[in-house]
Structure 1
Amino acid sequence: MPARDAIQILDAPRCHLGEGPCYDPGTDTAWWVDILERRLFAASLASGRVREHALPFMASAVAAVDGERQLLAGENGLYLRIIADEKLSLHCPLEADDAGTRSNDGRVHPSGALWISTMGRNAEAGRGGIYHVVGTRVTRLYGGLTIPNAICFSPDGATAYFADTDDDRLKRVAVDRRTGLPTGEPATLYDHRGGEGGLDGAAVDAEGLIWSARWGAGCIDAYSPEGERVRTIAVPASRPSCPTFAGPALDRLLITSAYEGMTDDERAADPDHGRTFLLTVGVRGLLEPSFRLSA
């Protein structure tokens, strides 16, 4: 485990199901959500001040649009949010006709297209999918998944990665750098079946390593583009959920966590459950691209 001073616990409320972080370098602010409690958080990394915003729906991911707006993946659609006045407007629906599903993991491809996943509200088998969104055009890429996670992209935008936590295999697929659409069939990059915990959210660093939270195992793993697990770093919470690179040098990982499904005894044994962390990992990350509003 890294030295304690390499891990900072943000002064933010515990998250029932923390997810979907992103970082704004213009204001040195990290954003993330608590899906189940319908909350959005904004943390000034310089001051440590954390603001909490109530949401009228469950949101699972935050993406930048420009200096004034951001995109929230909501339970029935994608919403634009004006940062200054917190006004929300529907950008486009996403499985709005299926009340049994909600959005889950998502990342923006270097082209500006969003990959966003859905899943059953009770993680029912096969209810999940992954979509490609550019402007308001929504294209279903993959179906029959259970808990789609680990969506991220290689630095050159030519490869997409994703996983189904229920299946526990990290997949890769070739994509068009200009559009973010797949040009081949997914193949297994790393088979984690039988290992402790499950693959959750992920982010890619400047060298192309895939940093994935391992739900239930209290750690972050780094995988090479060739499919080798090259590094494992323990974190204080047993259920880390999603990382993103943050800080002016993009040299820290902001990691959300959760206490969803934990018993009272499990929470007592895991005192930092649901906390949000900043972890110094000694590598430089990539800034998440902004979502492109026009097709």
Structure 2
Amino acid sequence: MARAITQKLTAECCELGEGPYYDRATDTAWWFDIVGRKLVEYHFAENRSRVHDLPRMGSVIAPVDGTRQLLAMEDGLYLRTMASGRLDLLAAMEADNAITRSNDGRVHPSGRLWIGTMGKRAEHQAGSIYWFDGRELRRLFSDISIPNSICFSPDGRTGYFADTALNTVWRVALDPVTGLPTGEPELHLSEKDLPLGGSFDGSVIDADGVLWNAAWGGGSVSGFAPDGSLVQTFEVPAAQTSCPCFMGPDLDRMLVTSAWQGYSGASRAADPGAGYTFVIDGDFKGRPDAAFQLRHEIQHSE
């Protein structure tokens, strides 16, 4: 275990910080306050943030090109124009199910998106994990309570996902060209593998295939080798750490979101870092997130 050198960013305190993404070209990070319906944009050169209000809950952001982003939101997948903030619907996702919203997701190296849904009150087995290629939204796995830890090996041949309610991470063989499963999920990590306790939340994989997981309730980020063995753990000064991403010119630092969701006033006072976003200096071997490959242009807008 290592006590990491952490920096708390001068940005919004989020009730449920999630879904961070780092743009190396502009030295800018993006993340969500899901329940606050906000998208945070943080510019490191000026150490300043800009908060964008959203019309509905969002949880995942991915680059499309230099001017547009893909956003996963509670009722669908949207194309966001960065200059104006305009949202254009690409595909509805459980839009007829008022109890669910989007949650964790990530773009596969092939450019396809994996995206999870869950109940807004974490209803038992209300969620699913989908695959989206810009044309088709396909359900891959169902009956998941809190989908998290969606990430992929560098070669795209292995996918990972968790159900935080079960505190379990699975791995599954994938077609590296499409990002679709070619086998059945197998157990990869379980509760006993978390060195500081908590539950598996968001994860990201580095250039060596190490899965770095933020432990909700564990106030830490731990790295697990492809064989499941523990590599290292970094403590974070917020108990409900939620999701990491690599950042910096060399992608050797890590940004981690956190949350104060579910806290009483006394709990917030006891955990003053809750809801803030942190940077860990840990000499990571990060790799850039894949861009989403848009395969058709939008037809609907709002």
Which residue identity is paired with 2:62? A
Shift of 1:136: 2.6
C-alpha deviation, 1:46, in angstroms: 2.1
In structure 2, what is the Cα distance between the partners aligned to 1:213 and 1:75?
A: 23
Distance 1:194 1:221, change over 3 A: closer
Query: Which residue identity is paired with 1:45?
Result: F
The corresponding residue for 1:276 is 277
**Residue 300 of structure 2 aligns with which residue?**
none
1:17 aligns with 2:27: no
- The answer (yes or no) to whether the contact 1:168–1:193 under 8 Å persists in 2 is no
Name stretches of at least 5 consecutive residues in structure 1 with no aligned partner.
Answer: none
Q: Deviations over 1:147-181 (max 9, x none)?
A: 00000000111000110001111110000000000
Matched residue type, 1:181: L
Partner residue in 2 for 1:85: 84
Amino acid at match of 1:205: D
Instruction: Show the counterpart of 1:223.
Output: 224
Please name the residue that 1:102 is paired with: 101
SS in 1 for 2:269: helix
1:167-210 Cα shifts (integer Å, max 9, x gaps): 11111000000000000110011111596210000000111100
Aligned residue for 2:291?
290
Deviation readout 1:199-253 (Å, 9 max, x if unpaired): 0000001111000000001000111110112211100100010001111110111
Q: Which residue of 2 is the match for residue 123 of structure 1?
A: 122
Q: Would the aligned equivalents of 2:9 and 2:279 in 1 still touch at CA under 8 Å? A: yes
1:24-43 pair list within 5 angstroms: 24-43=23-42
C-alpha separation in 1, matches of 2:265 and 2:2: 28
CA contact (8 A) 2:2 2:233 kept: no
Cα distance in 1, alignment partners of residues 28 and 131 from structure 2:
26
Cα distance, 1:3 vs structure 2: 5.9
Counterpart in the other structure of 1:260? 261
Aligned 8 A contact 1:167 1:193 in 2: no
Q: Is the 8 A contact 1:250 1:287 kept in 2?
A: yes
Counterpart Cα distance in 2 of 1:17 and 1:40: 11
Tell me how many residue pairs correspond in the alignment.
Answer: 294
1:203 aligns with 2:204: yes
Structure 2 residue ranges without an equivalent (≥5): 297-302
- C-alpha contact (below 8 Å) 2:8/2:279 kept by paired residues: yes
Whether contact under 8 Å (2:3, 2:235) holds in the other structure is no
Residue 263 of structure 1: CA displacement?
Answer: 1.2
Query: d(CA) in 1 for partners of 2:273 and 2:189?
Result: 29
Percentage of pairs with the same residue:
51
Distance in 1 between the 2:2 and 2:271 partners?
18
**Root-mean-square deviation (CA), in Å?**
1.3
Deviations, residues 78-129 of structure 1 (Å, cap 9, x unaligned): 1111111111111111111111100000000000000000001110111011
Offset of residue 2 of structure 1: 5.3
Query: Which residue matches 1:150?
Result: 149
Q: One-letter code of the match for 1:269? A: A
Q: Flag as ranges the 4+ runs of structure 1 deviating above 6 A.
A: none
Aligned position for 1:237: 238
**Could you state the TM-score of these two structures normalised by the residue count of structure 1?**
0.97
